[in-house]
């Protein structure tokens, strides 16, 4: 039994975003997260339109983007920044990673095996971590290389298992632009006819070097249930029909408090259809730092 304990400890440390760090993280990141506040918009930037945008219009736009990407978005690379709350409601640290993705919509039947490779740049405690997963690879298990002294061995984990999901809101199989669009459509349908929804549109919104469009979806009253939000922000690149950012804010517990961040996902510096191959999703790729076993 004593020989197994160091391995178990390493595995737990790899994905420990929960109990031990929860109280610290929720206080620190609530105060210090770079992207934890709603976007402030100057009135001169508002779109002046005869007809305000509705939730039905947002759904139409999301479906149009999803249809456009089907069969045309083979793969992409991006600098992905995320921050969200886990299933226990604890706000995790903001994470930044370089990511490679082969989409499942890269064929007409939309059943190509989804694959993703991540290399963490932040926070410092996770810098250098590598995570690789593919529906058709490694018996469907995560292949993890931890940074530092914990990275002496490859770890193979069930992507939906307790250890892999520790501190996570969603499993790795749901990451990516396509799935984010699908989530937006699923959630939007719930509020399609919600009379408390109003939408502000900002044209020429700048995200990095991309001129995009910002949609701010406001809800005047809580509706209850899962994913209840007071504000959701969506940034879409109309030229490429790419969803660049989604974030949502819940309801403050007391009047006058700032709305708490629920989740924030931003795709920076997206390069599409770069020709990723099997080697990009092979842990033995010499460009990666996976140990040999």
Helices (H) and strands (E) in the chain, counts: 5, 11
> What pLDDT digit, counting tens, does each position of 74-119 carry?
999 999 999 999 888 899 999 999 999 999 999 999 999 999 999 9
pLDDT at 42: 54
Please, what is the average pLDDT of the chain? Answer: 86
261 part of a folded domain = yes
Candidates 168, 108, 101; CA nearest to 134 is 101
| Contact between residue 261 and residue 169 where contact means Cβ atoms under 8 Å apart | no
| Contact between residue 256 and residue 262 where contact means Cβ atoms under 8 Å apart | no
pLDDT at 229: 96
Q: What is the DSSP letter of 46?
A: B
Return d(Cα 267, Cα 5) in angstroms, integer. Answer: 38
103 part of a folded domain = yes
177 part of a folded domain = yes
Q: How many beta carbons lie within 10 A of that of residue 152, not counting itself? A: 11
pLDDT at 198: 97
With residue 181 as reference, give the H or E element that holds it. Answer: helix 177-190
Q: In total, how many domains does the chain have?
A: 1
292 part of a folded domain = no
289 part of a folded domain = no
Return d(Cα 76, Cα 253) in angstroms, integer. Answer: 40
The end-to-end CA distance of the chain, in Å, is: 22
The three-state secondary structure class of 115 is strand
Return d(Cα 17, Cα 118) in angstroms, integer. Answer: 17
290 part of a folded domain = no
Q: Which domain holds residue 113?
A: 5-281
Q: How many CA atoms lie within 13 A of 190 on its CB side?
A: 13
pLDDT at 41: 56
Enumerate the β-bridge partners of residue 205. 212
| Contact between residue 175 and residue 142 where contact means Cβ atoms under 8 Å apart | no
pLDDT at 36: 65
| Contact between residue 289 and residue 146 where contact means Cβ atoms under 8 Å apart | no
| Contact between residue 73 and residue 103 where contact means Cβ atoms under 8 Å apart | yes
Reported pTM:
0.83
Candidates 115, 166, 125; CA nearest to 278 is 115
The three-state secondary structure class of 264 is strand
293 part of a folded domain = no
82 part of a folded domain = yes
Domain CATH for 30: 2.50.20.10
Candidates 168, 176, 217, 173; CA nearest to 59 is 217
Q: How many CA atoms lie within 13 A of 9 on its CB side?
A: 8
* Alpha-carbon dihedral angle through residues 252, 257, 263, 264, given to the nearest 10 degrees: 150
pLDDT at 289: 94
Flag residues of the chain having pLDDT under 70: 1-36, 40-50
């Amino acid at each position: 039994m004593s020989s197994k304990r160091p391995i178990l400890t390493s595995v737990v440390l790899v994905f420990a975003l929960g109990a031990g760090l929860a109280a610290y993280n929720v206080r620190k990141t609530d105060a210090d997260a770079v992207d934890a506040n709603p976007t402030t918009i100057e009135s001169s930037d508002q779109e002046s339109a005869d007809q305000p945008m509705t939730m039905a219009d947002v759904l139409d736009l999301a479906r149009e983007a999803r249809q456009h990407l089907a069969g045309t978005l083979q793969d992409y690379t991006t600098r992905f920044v995320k921050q969200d709350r886990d299933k226990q409601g604890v706000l995790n640290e903001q994470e930044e990673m370089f990511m490679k993705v082969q989409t499942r919509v890269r064929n007409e039947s939309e059943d190509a095996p989804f694959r993703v490779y991540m290399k963490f740049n932040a926070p410092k405690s996770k810098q250098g971590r590598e995570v690789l997963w593919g529906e058709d690879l490694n018996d469907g298990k995560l292949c993890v290389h931890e940074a530092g002294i914990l990275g002496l061995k490859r770890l193979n984990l069930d992507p939906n298992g307790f250890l892999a999901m520790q501190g996570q809101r969603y499993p790795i199989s749901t990451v990516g632009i396509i799935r984010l669009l699908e989530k937006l459509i699923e959630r939007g349908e719930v509020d399609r006819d919600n009379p408390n929804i109003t939408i502000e549109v900002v044209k020429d919104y700048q995200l990095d070097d991309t001129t995009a469009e910002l949609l701010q979806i406001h809800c005047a009253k809580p509706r209850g249930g899962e994913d209840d939000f007071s504000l959701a922000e969506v940034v879409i690149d109309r030229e490429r029909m790419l969803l660049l950012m989604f974030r949502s804010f819940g309801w403050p517990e007391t009047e006058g408090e700032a709305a708490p961040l629920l989740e924030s996902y931003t795709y920076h510096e997206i390069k599409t259809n770069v020709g990723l191959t099997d080697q990009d999703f092979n842990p033995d790729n010499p460009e990666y730092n996976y140990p040999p076993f």
